[in-house]
Structure 1
Amino acid sequence: MLVLSNARLFLENLIKYGILVDPIQVVSLFLKDPYSWPSLCLIIAANVFVVVALALERRLAAGSLSEGAGAALHTLNLLAILCFPAGVVLVVTSITPVGAVFTLAIYTIVFLKLFSFRDVNKWCRERREVKTAPPAPEDSLAPAKKANGDVGRNEVTYPANLTYRNLYYFLFAPTLCYELNFPRSPRVRKRFLLRRLFEMLFFIQLLVGLIQQWMVPTIQNSMKPFRDMDYSRIIERLLKLAVPNHLIWLIFFYWFFHSCLNVVAEVMQFGDREFYRDWWNSESVTYFWQNWNIPVHKWCLRHFYKPMLKRGASKWAAQTAVFLASAFFHEYLLSVPLKMLRPWAFMGMAAQIPLAWFVSKFLRGNYGNAAVWMSLIIGQPIAVLMYVHDYYVLNYEGNQ
């Protein structure tokens, strides 16, 4: 029934709009001027902050820089990682919204990785001062056997890890949590790599096609009901948008977390392949957020949640802080590229806090699972329509 109903919708779309897929239009989403590459230049400039972080850690390891001064300089460097690209995106007119989202996502990843790099090296210095052997981090206490064979370890001790090779391996590795010694797989499995590469190429083309053919016309037809405040038509547009939006989200999840991250891990012989767990079985909102994006969850747990608990915060306060921090980054990745301050993403993430409480308090089993799926299927299209409507009004209606 699902296949037949969606096939009818897709055929109706083709009859109504014709074939809208245009590869050239995809390139224009990243480049306005073929001679201007602001997004690429910004990504290359991120290396400056990486070099600064490594230089600070080397000075701290040698004892030529005090802990207080080092912490202050690290904080300034981390703040600059978020503020510098945002300022450039807001000032430079030739950068496109899609290119800006991609660039700011790269800078956000660099921020999280360098934050972890700073913390782990600080812990190593503290252990060195008390003259104890550094215990293995919690997320590296996995069994010696992996799906890809025996895990080979190339043991490095502090401060021998403070090299460009070590840091850049971490920057490209599919993890946000730094370790001196990552679990490594013994070889590159060529068949596995080719399958994941094929999936990457196939699903990215499918994603682009679905967005151009299905999402864009539906969103464009939603602008008039918003202008007229026709609530019945708005709800109809919202429900119509929910189907392709959720399908695209599911395909994107598989493409990124299963295909792309496994390709990177296989090429780099990175042994830890736990990028997601069974989030589709979530019976609570909290379980979903803990299991759909394992790299981010591990980072939040290690560098945000547990440090807050150690400082005396309650579990509820720590969980709320994690949700609000996530809300900030969601808003950062949307409002800055679109060059408009609209708190829809922040409000959507913040709303997960009361929703998580309600689901865990009143719903159990399949009812909780249904609530999680409904929040995913309906919540995202609402945010999409709000941002597109505001962007359209700000950039097109005013000019007309």
Structure 2
Amino acid sequence: MDCHVLQESLLSSASGYSNYRGILNWCVVMLVLCNARLFLENLIKYGILVDPIQVVSLFLKDPYNWPASCLIIETTGTFLYLVNLTTLLFFPSATVLTLTSITPVGGAFALCVYTVLFMKLYSYKDVNMWCREIRHTKARTLTPVHAHVSYPGNLTHRDIYYFVFAPTLCYELNFPRSPRIRKSFLLRRLFEMLFFIQLQIGLVQQWMVPTIQNSMKPFQDMDFSRMIERMLKLAVPNHLIWLIFFYWFFHSSMNFVAELMRFGDREFYQDWWNSETVTYFWSNWNIPVHKWCLRHFYKPLMGRGVNKWVAQTAIFLVSAFFHEYLVSVPLKMFRLWAFMGMMSQIPLAWFVGRFLRGNYGNAAVWISLIIGQPIAVLMYVHDFYVLHYVSQS
């Protein structure tokens, strides 16, 4: 019996407990109490400092405090921007080419709208990029000191929608604004718009359509004498309609929109009729497009060290592409001769500028306008007629 008690006492003194749950709980309680004391001491000393709004406002106020995030956003934004511009050009053209119900006139109008929007968004991106670069180098604004808006205060829906409808292709942070809308001026321009559009339609139906219809057989028979006679007969009404269209669009319509939006810059054209060189004509008959090409294409190329002649040739290439895009897609055909016809302006400009001066140069410009356009019209109409009617019969 004594041996049994002795054995139990030896076992109890040598017992190896492996469950220290109580000690672990004690440690947890002590840590909680210590940290609770520190938390309470911090709260009493500093108060509540947690403010999630402050972090968000700091990012919105100056996003360059977060360069890594800006890098991701800019890369993604550039990709989405390129996708958007590409879609603006190719989705409408694919729709016009696919749907047989779209007429050439309707297709050309739709593509013109999307092309203008493409150029506007390109300018919007460029100007804001320049502003951001200047801001990044500690300059606060791209505009003069007296400007009402500076970057990034211009990045609003109201601002971009005003630019979309404004009669210009070049974006500015602060457009010149007229003090009020002149109702009498607005009504005169509206009357001109309604009158001249009806006059153009009447001249096309009464004068041009019969001449074009009578020109199809000489073109099919390749009767060159009759082709030249038809071309010369078409030259007068075609040129008259072009002049009316120029006044209707660049003077009446654009001044109407400018007055309605109190848009102050009304330089839509200059005295292109006095052009003594082809280059002067292309620079002054369509000022909005000329300013866009100069600011967003020509000067950037020159800034990269590109030769002046190469830069001018590149502009003619882009111009030829868009002219062919706006005509060939609605007619659902592409003609290399039309593209090369636009590019022929380069040697023509060189020849007139090199060998002709004064009134001779001006006469050469007028001849190129009066003769060149009916040639293009007849060839386009002939190819459209052969492609869509003769080949299907």
TM-score between the two structures when normalised by the length of structure 2: 0.81
Cα distance, 1:338 vs structure 2: 0.7
Q: 1:379 aligns to what?
A: 372
- Given that 1:305 and 1:322 are in contact with CA atoms closer than 8 Å, whether structure 2 keeps it comes out as yes
Q: Are the structure 2 counterparts of residues 388 and 214 from structure 1 closer, same or farther at C-alpha, using a change threshold of 3 Å?
A: same
Task: Verify: 1:282 aligned to 2:269, yes or no.
Answer: no
Cα distance, 1:66 vs structure 2: 4.1
Q: 2:154 aligns to what?
A: 161
Cα distance, 1:348 vs structure 2: 2.0
Mapped partners of 2:384, 2:197: distance in 1: 25
Cα distance, 1:59 vs structure 2: 12
Q: 2:339 aligns to what?
A: 346
Mapped partners of 1:106, 1:121: distance in 2: 23
Among 106, 128, 132, the residue aligned to 2:139: 132
Mapped partners of 2:143, 2:147: distance in 1: 14
Among 113, 121, 128, the residue aligned to 1:121: 128
Q: 2:98 aligns to what?
A: 91
DSSP 3-state at the match of 1:111: helix
Mapped partners of 2:152, 2:261: distance in 1: 23
Cα distance, 1:191 vs structure 2: 1.0
Mapped partners of 1:72, 1:361: distance in 2: 45
Among 332, 337, 341, the residue aligned to 2:330: 337
Mapped partners of 1:73, 1:344: distance in 2: 35
Letter of the aligned partner of 1:105 in structure 2?
A: C
Mapped partners of 1:344, 1:214: distance in 2: 26
- Given that 1:344 and 1:387 are in contact with CA atoms closer than 8 Å, whether structure 2 keeps it comes out as no
Structure 2 segments unaligned to the other structure (5+ residues):
1-60
Mapped partners of 1:360, 1:221: distance in 2: 37
Q: 1:54 aligns to what?
A: none
Q: 1:104 aligns to what?
A: 111
Mapped partners of 1:111, 1:167: distance in 2: 13
Among 189, 196, 199, the residue aligned to 2:189: 196
Letter of the aligned partner of 1:167 in structure 2?
A: I
Mapped partners of 1:397, 1:380: distance in 2: 24
Cα distance, 1:345 vs structure 2: 3.2
Summarize the alignment of residues 157-236 of structure 1 with structure 2, pairs less than 5 Å apart.
157-236=150-229
Summarize the alignment of residues 239-388 of structure 1 with structure 2, pairs less than 5 Å apart.
239-388=232-381
Cα distance, 1:60 vs structure 2: 8.7
Task: Verify: 1:82 aligned to 2:75, yes or no.
Answer: no
- Given that 2:141 and 2:151 are in contact with CA atoms closer than 8 Å, whether structure 1 keeps it comes out as no
Mapped partners of 1:272, 1:59: distance in 2: 33
Summarize deviations over 1:357-383 as a string: whole Å, max 9, x none.
011110000010001000000000010
Letter of the aligned partner of 1:378 in structure 2?
A: I
Letter of the aligned partner of 1:223 in structure 2?
A: M
Mapped partners of 2:179, 2:72: distance in 1: 39
Mapped partners of 1:331, 1:344: distance in 2: 10
- Decide which structure has the larger Cα Rg and report it: 2
Cα distance, 1:350 vs structure 2: 0.5
Letter of the aligned partner of 2:189 in structure 1?
A: R
Cα distance, 1:341 vs structure 2: 1.2
| 4+ runs deviating over 2 angstroms | 58-73, 133-137
Letter of the aligned partner of 2:74 in structure 1?
A: E
Instruction: Give the paired residue count.
Output: 329
- Structure 1 vs Structure 2: percent identity of aligned residues? 71
Summarize deviations over 1:105-149 as a string: whole Å, max 9, x none.
000000000000010110011011001133439xxx9xxxxxxxx
Cα distance, 1:74 vs structure 2: 1.5
Cα distance, 1:301 vs structure 2: 0.2
Mapped partners of 2:341, 2:390: distance in 1: 26
User: What RMSD over aligned residues (CA atoms) do the two structures have, in Å?
Assistant: 1.9
Q: 1:35 aligns to what?
A: none
- Given that 1:176 and 1:296 are in contact with CA atoms closer than 8 Å, whether structure 2 keeps it comes out as yes
- Given that 1:113 and 1:176 are in contact with CA atoms closer than 8 Å, whether structure 2 keeps it comes out as yes
DSSP 3-state at the match of 2:107: helix
TM-score between the two structures when normalised by the length of structure 1: 0.79
Summarize deviations over 1:195-251 as a string: whole Å, max 9, x none.
111110110000000000000000000000001110000000000000000000000
Letter of the aligned partner of 2:124 in structure 1?
A: F
Mapped partners of 2:341, 2:254: distance in 1: 27
Structure 1 segments unaligned to the other structure (5+ residues):
1-57, 142-152
Mapped partners of 2:63, 2:237: distance in 1: 51
Cα distance, 1:95 vs structure 2: 1.2
Q: 2:54 aligns to what?
A: none
Cα distance, 1:344 vs structure 2: 3.7
- Given that 1:117 and 1:178 are in contact with CA atoms closer than 8 Å, whether structure 2 keeps it comes out as yes
Letter of the aligned partner of 1:128 in structure 2?
A: R
Mapped partners of 1:134, 1:381: distance in 2: 49
- Given that 2:140 and 2:151 are in contact with CA atoms closer than 8 Å, whether structure 1 keeps it comes out as no
Letter of the aligned partner of 1:234 in structure 2?
A: M
